[in-house]
A = this chain, B = another copy of it.
Amino acid sequence: MSIVAVGSIAFDSITTPSGARENILGGSCTYFSLAASYFTSVRIVAVVGEDFTSDYEDVFRKRKIDTKGIEHVKGKTFRWGGRYVDNLNEAKTDFTELNVFENFQPRIPQDYMDSKFLFLGNIHPSLQATVRQVMNGVQLTGGDTMNFWINGTRPELLQTLKLINVLLINDTEAKMLAGDRNLPRAAQRVLAMGPQALVIKHGEYGATIFFREGAFGIGKHPFRAPALPIEQVQDPTGAGDAFAGGFMGYLASQEDINREVLKRSLFYGGVMGSFAVERFGTERLQKLTREEIDSRFQVFRELTHLE
């Protein structure tokens, strides 16, 4: 089944202990869609400026990602600059130029409307809600958010959370959203806000999925997928978005959405996140094979599998 992904396309300037790159293709929608494209057909909705040439669009086309929903407007594409100094888990932002992204109003092409899966990337919660309302035929909606919206637009975010089936955020965001520093308690509070499932991403430690009682099956226990310890982390940018792409992409490729499928999705999320960080930007995500992906899935599975 196809999935529609809404989010940002950006040009990133990144410095890590492994080197530096200027103006490379990035953005949440880019990482997400490349990662998801190995599992299902992906249709994206984003906005770019005049500096987004067809060479860049080819990156998506080569992965058969539908780019009809990329809106081209006057001005420059969103740019972000950041560096990872002491800690590869946290970027220090050098600059953020929203440019054309500042007035982004997602428009869903008519022939995207039959998609049954939707991923609402990290944009203003009111825009997320509008997209979800327009796409009223979707079966399952995944969503992301961030500290900026949790603190700055909380009432709007709380409305949007009622429309999201699976929320994917990190530890800090979950604790901030819930106002509770204990992770499992925070998870229960976030689930009470709307989502049936909550994926909390722990960076290099993997991710945990918490379920609302009765959602997607029975049982009260969460499920945790580890991350493979990676020796060569070149650039952590986009790892969370690649995780979401692997998770949602695998999910959208399945007939039935149940807990076993959600567990495997969590592992595939970790797998795609682990590939993303091995090279700068989207380099690694552009040319994987499904065989490489499934082989790493097995390594991840072995990583915690007891006989």
Contact = CB atoms under 8 A, between A and B. Distances in A.
A78 to B, nearest CB: 30
Interface in A13-34: none
Given A205-B205, A223-B303, A305-B305, A231 B267 contact: no
Interface stretch (A115-123, A161-169, A179-187): A179-187
Give how many copies assemble into the complex: 2
A229 interface: yes
A231 B88 contact: no
B264 A221 contact: no
B306 A233 contact: no
A304 B184 contact: no
Nearest to A229: B184
A58 B268 CA distance: 51
A184 B230 contact: yes
A50 to B, nearest CB: 40
Interface string A295-307: 0000101111111
A202 interface: yes
B183 A225 contact: no
Contacts of A87: 181
A203 to B, nearest CB: 9
Dominant secondary structure of chain A at its interface with chain B: mixed
Contacts of A305: 304-306
A261 to B, nearest CB: 11
Contact of A88 (B181, B225, B226): B181
Interface string A188-225: 10000000000000101110100000000000011111
Contacts of A263: 306
B206 A226 contact: yes
A306 B187 contact: no
B307 A260 contact: yes
A182 B230 CA distance: 8
A231 B205 CA distance: 19
Interface string A105-148: 00000000000000000000000000000000000000000000
Interface of A: 86-88, 181-185, 187-188, 202, 204-206, 208, 221-226, 229-231, 233, 260, 263-264, 267, 299, 301-307
The 10 closest A-B pairs by CB, nearest first: A205-B205, A184-B229, A304-B304, A224-B226, A184-B231, A224-B303, A185-B231, A183-B229, A224-B304, A301-B306
